[in-house]
Amino acid sequence: MSSLDDLFVETAELDRELIGTVLKPYLVIDRSTLAIRPQARWRTASNRARIVAYLLARKAMRAHGAINPDAERVPPGQIINATGLPKGSVYPTLKELYEARPQAIDKDSRANYWVPDWAVQAACDILQEGNSAG
């Protein structure tokens, strides 16, 4: 019962709870179609927050077993289609999020983007900042 024992946690379970709590004001996911259904916070969210919310939703889908792990990574075109954001906003925002410190998203050699497990907290922080600002 030392405080050292309290440091050891099940990261996957922590991430699932954190993502669910942080995403709920922004969106829900339709079980049958996996479509993103915007909620109240989505309507006033910045483009940056919407992109992060969408990518976290993909992570939630993977964690829930609704999509395979490779499907978590998405190209900018899919982000544009799913969020309705303009191309001219999505590309620079993805670049900014990828280059940010702490980094909130990652990309592979085919320019597919996702929130890696090690960046979940940074991505959630972006959305939580948006919640406290509004």
**What is the Cα–Cα distance from 94 to 105, expressed in whole angstroms?**
8
Global pTM value: 0.89
The confidence band for 23, taking pLDDT boundaries of 50, 70 and 90, is very high
**pLDDT score of 131:** 59
The answer to whether position 1 is within a domain reads: no
**What is the Cα–Cα distance from 18 to 3, expressed in whole angstroms?**
22
The answer to whether position 120 is within a domain reads: yes
- Total tally of structural domains belonging to the chain: 1
The confidence band for 134, taking pLDDT boundaries of 50, 70 and 90, is very low
The answer to whether position 69 is within a domain reads: yes
The answer to whether position 48 is within a domain reads: yes
Average pLDDT over residues 79-107: 95
Q: What is the pLDDT of residues 32-85, one digit of tens each?
A: 999 999 999 999 999 999 999 999 999 999 999 999 999 999 999 999 999 999
Expressed as residue numbers, the domain containing 98 is 8-133
